[in-house]
Structure 1
């Protein structure tokens, strides 16, 4: 009797296909379909986009503050040297945020 079962022509079915005959024969097929769907419909990394946008804003404001004294834009309250230093720091921080957002986006890709 055992030799008859081992030489059977019936395909081997996994547990899922025995319980649910409507499903495909293999769970591997389902997993490959899910992976393909996830690759096509990859979620957008909001943190990476936010870092890039905020970095561009910081760099833009920092750039304007840095060159404000040289282009004739007068900011009266802090001394012009403080505005220039703050602008340079804001510009550098903006570049860092853009880099971090780009790195996060590429890491998740």
Structure 2
């Protein structure tokens, strides 16, 4: 009885973590795209024009977001 309850709790927690990873991964990917395409979007601060640092940071954000989505897909939280 207790094992079944613990199994349900772990499964529920795993699905919540998975949803959180999907959501945060998508947010990081969108943020990375915004940094990479900042010049084309017309988003920027007048004092800081877009440069290669934005592209590097955007790529890093997209890689981290992709990793978060992959981690949410694999669901290896308790192994």
TM-score scaled to structure 2, two decimals?
A: 0.66
- Distance of aligned partners of 1:47 and 1:90 in 2 relative to their CA distance in 1, 3 Å threshold: same
The counterpart of 1:71, out of the listed 29, 41, 51, is 41
Matched residues in 2 for 1:83 and 1:101: separation? 27
Matched residues in 2 for 1:44 and 1:75: separation? 41
Structure 2 unaligned residues grouped into runs of 5+:
none
Q: Cα deviations across residues 68-87 of structure 1 (Å, max 9, x unaligned)?
A: 11232223465522122111
The answer to whether residue 45 in structure 2 is matched with residue 83 in structure 1 is: no
Partner residue of 2:12? 43
What is the CA-CA distance between 1:100 and the residue it aligns to? 0.9
- Distance of aligned partners of 1:104 and 1:67 in 2 relative to their CA distance in 1, 3 Å threshold: same
Q: Cα deviations across residues 34-74 of structure 1 (Å, max 9, x unaligned)?
A: x7xx78xx525222111111001100111111101123222
Q: Which moved more, 1:88-97 or 1:71-80?
A: 71-80
Q: RMSD in angstroms over aligned alpha carbons?
A: 2.7
Which of 1 and 2 has greater Rg?
Answer: 1
Q: Which runs of 4+ in 1 moved over 4 A?
A: 76-79
Q: How many residues align?
A: 71
Structure 1 unaligned residues grouped into runs of 5+:
1-29
Greater relative CO, 1 or 2 (CA 8 Å, sep 6+): 2
